[in-house]
Structures are given as structure tokens and as C-alpha cells.
A = this chain, B = another copy of it.
Amino acid sequence: MISSDKKMVQTFVSACVRAGMTTVVCSPGSRNSSLVIAFDEHPKIKTYVIHDERSAAFIGMGIAMEINKPVGVLCTSGSAMLNYYPAVAEAYYQRIPLVVISADRPEKWINQGDGQTIVQKGVYTNHIEGEIHFDENSDLETVEKSTLDLFSKITLQSKGPIHFNIALEEPLYQTTEISDELPQEIDWNKQYPTLNSEEITVIKKGLELPKKMILIGQMPKNPYFLEVLKIIADDTSFAILVENTSNLSSMKWVHCIDRTLQTINSEEELDFAPDLLITFGGAIVSKRIKAYLRKHQPKAHWKIGIDFPEMNTYEALTNSFQVSEAYFLDTLIRIKSDIIPNNYGSKWKQRDFIAQERAEQFLINTPFSDLKAIEVSLDCIPEGSHIHMGNSSIVRYCQLFNPIPSMTYFSNRGTSGIDGSVSTAVGAALAQPQLLHVLIVGDISFFYDSNALWNKYRLNNLRIVVINNGGGGIFNIIKGPRTSKQNADYFEAKHSFKTEHIAKAFGVDYFSAGSEEEMMANMADFYAYDENSGIKLLEIHTQAINNHLILDEFFEAIQST
């Protein structure tokens, strides 16, 4: 096969393949061309071309989320890699194996007045699992070994982004024929740690606490964990709270945390607060549950999982068990036989039922609004889709509705930025062409990341629902700015830019709706797809209404009197 004529590049690419990397998103440039050629020609690597590096890195992340393997993003020297940084930070907090490969100039030309040259080493220090620098004088054995070592970090240990900074000398475009023999992919044979007897004792003791809450943050779909959790749920002394980003849907527990919390009045708060809090997974969307647990701190908080063991979200962390989630639950079932039963979990579940009923009642007559548009959107998404929720208000609105079991939910809750939602969905759609991917996103997030659509791939399996409320709906949810008379400009991002033309610029089919009826009339066409349908975008206009008043009424309707 053909490759770059640079031995260091050949060795590095081969090591990436051995480590299990199968996909590289390349952003065109000159300095990185040796690497582009070597990856593109390699039969084990699928490459994509994306120009805007900010978007490219989020696309790479979206692919990695779907294929659950390290995905490379490859850029030229200079400011290109700085545009990767928002996605690197997101991958860091969301624990996604994003592999940044930046071409660089030889060291002697750094800060010497050459174009496209910055100090690339150490740029990501705050948000990376590791970084290596190679140049053409690097010893080839070291290149191979240290590449595999860095991959091992995010394969055997906690996932996250890593960075290879590779200095290349001109000429950059020369190729050569190399052996067709493909390197053997490493069987990493990941070993999970287990609990020791001391830890088991702590757990046994802790389980004696009567009010036990399991709170689960963002997780990829995990059918085994779901089944074990259902067994735990049969013990009514456990309240189990999940979010739709937990990807754990069951009638046995509480899905809509904010909705359920709303039924608990101030006198009941203490009663519902747990003595023992067990947390799994990544970020929690609900600010209310965080505030609630910080106010009524549990006697013990166990954090389960290998990532961020020191993270003390509720200021009450007593133990961090760095084992796999399912293994911990298995152990819990094995040792929990002595628990004295109580109805703490049932009480939470009961409130969930009440809240759900009141919410459904309220929604029957709700005027068309952000809330209604989200309800209708979620109702209409074809079964089995992957739902990508934009940040800010969208992901919060979505948390007010029970998750649909057949769906898989995604949202960039690592840094919770409004940057990159569209690109992440594009990446997911590229990685799983046989599945329908539906992005629900606010107008500000959509415009922010509209370069996600600036690519040559015809994605028949991507649908984008833009909730256009004129911008900045989040500030109606968090309430602060409503009391501030001035500066409305800053806190609500009112604008009148045209999504329709952005769609047209990138060859995306455009649909529009300003009412429930118009939404329903469009749905069949919108979700129809064949091998030529391409991306479709449905813009839902809700500017005409005071969305925050509807939301206030929603919560009032749920509140216990």
C-alpha cells in the first residue's frame, strides 16, 4: 500500500491502527499532509474531511460516542488545533476517547516568525489525559511504544482525550510503497478492579441507613446495568433517580427529577432527603437536585466508577469506589440481604406518578410554546432513534418528559456549552448510517455551530429540529434576568436571522411550523428517508408566546398545595 515516505509517520499510523483507532477526521492543510496521506491510504482507517476544525473535533467526538473507540482528529500546524479545544474539553469531561493529532513545524522554527506556527506543546494541559511530541528524528521504537502507552491510558483506564503533536519537515507530500501486511490490533484485555473486604464492610454498614438514594447521571446505554438496577428497584428502601441522559428507562424509578421535586414542599424536604446517596455516571442536568442534596446533605455519599473519583458534587462525598458500575450493583445485590425494608423509594415513585399525571393534564390545554413543541417533537420521533439534545434550555425541557425506552439520548453535558451540538450529531449520524439521528436544538446553538453542515457528506439519517424562540430561552428558565429590567439584549439573544437560508446554503431540506397542527402536518415528510433524502431541518417558531410564563404555569400545576 501507499504511505507517506516518512518512516516516523508510517510507524505512528501503524501504532494507531494497532491501538484500535479506525477513524480519522482530517482538516485540510499543508503541514499535516504526510499524516493525511498515510491515514487516508491505510485500509484499516476510515477518513472524513471537515474544514472547520472546531466542528471537525466535535464530529470526531460524535463518531467516538457511537462507535465507542478512539477517533482521531488531524489538523495542520498553528491555530487549527486551538479550534479543537472546545471539543477536547467536552471529551475530557464526558470521557470520550478523542485523539488529537496536530502537525507541527520542527522545534527550531517555533516562535521564529514562520507562518502557522504557535507553541503547540502543552496547549491542552488542563483537559487532556496525556500528550506526546514526535519529530522526524524520534526513535521509531519509541514512537511505537509511547503511542501505544498513551492509547493504553484511555483504553485500560479512564477514557478521555489524548494529544499527539508531530513535527514534520518539508517535503511533506512524498509517498512510497510499503508492505501490505496489516498490523495486529492489540487485544487490550481490560481488567476492572474489584472491591476489597474493607470496602465491602463499609458498604454493608452504609446499607443499614434507612433512606437510600441512587442517583444516576449521564451514561451510554447499558442493558446489563439496566437489568441489575431493576432488581435493586424491587427493594422499596431505594429511591432511584435517573435522567434521560442516563439511558435507563423503566417504570420502576423516577425519570423526571425536577418535575418530581416540584411535588415536595418545604416541610417534606427533609423527609425525602436520603441518608445514603449512591451516584453513578457523569453529569447531572438537574440543578434542583444538586441544590436539594447540597442543602440536605446525606450522611454518606458513595461515588461509583473510575472517572473523577475526587469529584464531590454534593459536598458530602464519603467514599469513592473505583469499580465498574455493574460490578458494584452486582455486589450490592449480593450483600444487601439484611436491609430492613421501608417505603422511602415508594414515596419518591409515588410523587413521580403524581407529577406525571399533573403534567399530562396541564399539557392537554397548553398553548403552543417551547414546552409544547418539545412534547410534540419527542412524541413524533421514530422508535429506536438516537436523540441529540442541545444544551441550555432544550436539554432541560426534555428532562420534563419521560424518556422513551427505545431511544438513546445524547447531550454534550461535559462542559454543557452551546458550541458543538450540531457537529456532534453530524458525527453520530456519520458513524451510524443505519440509524435515524434526531437533533433537537435551540436557535442560538444552531447558528453557533451551523458550520457542522459545511461538509460534503449526504446524511440521509439526520433530522434537525430547531426550536426558534428568538434566542436565549435559557434565561427564562434560570429566572435571574427576569428580575433585571435593563440589559435584555445580553440575557436574551433576540435576533431575526434566517435558519432557512443556512439550510439552503448547505443543501439541507427546510421545513417550518408555527403550531402543533403545522408540526403534525410536516412530520411524515420530515421523518421519511431514503438513500437520497439528505439532512432535513424543521424550524419551529415559538417567539409569539411568553415561553417562561408557560413553564412557570407548568411547575405551578405540578406543585402540591
Contact = CB atoms under 8 A, between A and B. Distances in A.
Interface of A: 2, 26, 28, 30, 33, 36-37, 40-41, 49, 51-54, 78-80, 82-83, 85-86, 88-90, 93, 111-119, 121-123, 125-127, 170-173, 175, 217, 283-285, 287, 290, 308, 310-313, 413, 415-417, 419, 444, 447-448, 450-451, 454, 456, 472, 474-475, 478, 480-481, 483-484, 486-487, 489-493, 495, 497-502, 504-507
A41 B489 CA distance: 13
Contacts of A490: 26, 28, 33, 36-37, 40, 49
Contacts of A498: 504-506
A173 B490 CA distance: 12
24 contacts: A28-B490, A28-B491, A30-B478, A30-B481, A33-B480, A36-B487, A37-B490, A40-B486, A53-B419, A78-B417, A79-B85, A79-B415, A82-B86, A83-B86, A112-B312, A113-B308, A113-B313, A115-B415, A116-B415, A173-B481, A175-B486, A454-B495, A497-B506, A498-B506
Given A36-B487, A83-B86, A499-B505, 7 more contacts: A28-B491, A28-B492, A30-B474, A40-B487, A41-B486, A113-B217, A113-B283
Contact of A173 (B112, B480, B489): B480
Contacts of A83: 54, 85-86, 419
B36 A413 contact: no
Contacts of A53: 419
Nearest to A93: B118
Contacts of A284: 113
A313 B501 contact: no
A118 B127 contact: yes
A28 B118 contact: no
A373 to B, nearest CB: 21
Contacts of A2: 486
A123 B128 CA distance: 12
A126 B116 contact: no
B415 A52 contact: no
A486 B37 contact: yes
A37 B311 contact: no
B450 A172 contact: no
B448 A451 contact: yes
Contacts of A444: 51
A444 to B, nearest CB: 6
Nearest to A80: B417
Given A447-B451, A481-B33, A486-B41, A456 B115 contact: no
A490 B451 CA distance: 18
B480 A172 contact: yes
A78 B416 contact: yes
Contact of A37 (B78, B112, B484): B484
A54 B54 contact: yes
Nearest first, the 5 A-B pairs at minimum CB distance are: A501-B505, A79-B417, A115-B416, A113-B313, A119-B126
Nearest to A32: B490
Contact of A118 (B126, B283, B472): B126
A132 B188 CA distance: 43
Contacts of A474: 30
A443 B37 CA distance: 24
A284 B112 CA distance: 11
Contacts of A480: 30, 33, 170-173
Nearest to A113: B313
A78 B448 contact: no
A499 to B, nearest CB: 8
Nearest to A88: B82
A359 B284 CA distance: 65
A175 B484 contact: yes
B417 A116 contact: yes
B86 A90 contact: no
Contacts of A501: 501-502, 504-505
A309 to B, nearest CB: 11
A416 B116 contact: yes
A52 B117 CA distance: 24
Contacts of A454: 447, 495, 497
A52 B484 contact: no
Residue from A52, A115, A311, A472 whose CB has the most chain B CB atoms within 10 Å: A115
Nearest to A420: B79
Nearest to A502: B505
A126 B143 CA distance: 25
A175 B41 CA distance: 61
Given A118-B127, A447-B451, A505-B501, A489 B313 contact: no
Contacts of A447: 51-52, 451, 454
A497 B171 CA distance: 32
Residue from A26, A93, A413, A478 whose CB has the most chain B CB atoms within 10 Å: A93
A255 to B, nearest CB: 19
Nearest to A40: B487
A30 B486 contact: no
Nearest to A82: B85
Nearest to A54: B54
